[in-house]
Amino acid sequence: MLKILGRKTSSNVMKVLWLCDELGIAYDREDVGGPFGKNDQADYLAKNPNGLVPTIIDDGFELWESNAIVRYLAAKHGEGSSIWPENPQTRASADRWMEWLSTTVGPNMVLIFRNLVRETDETRNMDEVALGIKNCTKCFGIMNELLAKQDYVAGCGFTVGDIPLGVHTRRWVELCPDQAGDMKNLMGWFERLKARPAYHHCLIPLE
């Protein structure tokens, strides 16, 4: 059985759990990271030298980096489904949005999330929050324009490209409701994601 090492409150772990439920992949998850620790121990670092989560073990194959894990599991279990498109151009488009999350949206969402959720009143940096909101408003505005023309980021069907962005969009909607509420196409896509049973992994309390 697939083993997933990582706490369920991690956005990167949520990606993997969501995909597994979409594709009906059985798994066993172990709490690692955050308040559970273990990610700084030698046996974990031997699997993932970064000490981050998630890491998966699949029939002895160890893999880290959440987007790589999502692509690997989708290729193994989702071939022929909309999640892992057969058309190479559609698949590349989905992959593009996954990378855009990592390079552009994610670092700015970290500024918002870390300060508003993880920091205290004494340690919170509101200048970072303002910068994150400014940059994320631009990013999600790009998505909002895209979603005026299509239902999902890579076209008409739900793909791996929607998963990383879907995890962070929930955080954007909850932490920056005024900015998110003005983006009607983005909010329509968010509602389509919430209608998917597997999306429940992204709707747990933020911590």
**CATH code where residue 62 lies:** 3.40.30.10
Please indicate, yes or no, whether residues 65 and 106 belong to a single structural domain of this protein.
no
DSSP string, 6-54: S-TTSHHHHHHHHHHHHHT--EEEE--SGGG--TTSHHHHHH-TT--S-
Q: How many domains does the chain have?
A: 2
Mean pLDDT of the chain: 97
Q: Which of 34, 54, 77 is the last residue of a domain?
A: 77
Of the residues 77, 107, 123, which one is the last residue of a structural domain?
A: 77
Residue 105 and residue 66 in one domain: no
In this prediction, residue 162 carries a pLDDT of 98
Per-residue tokens: 114: 């870390």
DSSP 8-class letter at 71: H
- Does residue 141 share a domain with residue 177? yes
Domain for residue 178, yes or no? Answer: yes
Whether 134 is covered by a domain: the verdict is yes
CATH of residue 143 = 1.20.1050.10
Q: What is the pLDDT of residues 154-190, one digit of tens each?
A: 998 999 999 999 999 999 999 999 999 999 999 999 9
Residue 152's pLDDT is 98
Q: Mark which of 55, 77, 99 sits at the end of a domain.
A: 77
With respect to residue 22, please indicate whether it lies within any of the assigned structural domains: yes
Residue 22: per-residue pLDDT: 97
Any idea what the Cα angle at residue 47 is, between residues 28 and 21, rounded to 5°? 30
Instruction: Judge whether 70 lies within some domain.
Output: yes
pTM (two decimals): 0.96
The pLDDT of residue 81 is 87
Residues 180, 173: Cα–Cα separation, whole Å: 5
Burial of 141 from C-beta contacts in 10 A (0-12 / 13-18 / 19+): middle
Domain that holds residue 144: 88-202
Residue 35 vs residues 6, 7, 23, 49, 122: alpha-carbon distances, Å: 11, 9, 29, 19, 21
Could you tell me if residue 9 is inside a domain?
yes
The two structure tokens encoding residue 63:
């893999």
Is the domain of 117 the same as that of 167? Answer: yes
pLDDT of residue 156: 87
Which residues, including other chains, have CB under 8 Å from residue 87's CB and lie 6 or more apart? none
The answer to whether position 82 is within a domain reads: no
Whether 83 is in a domain gets the answer no
Regions in the chain scoring below 50 on pLDDT: none
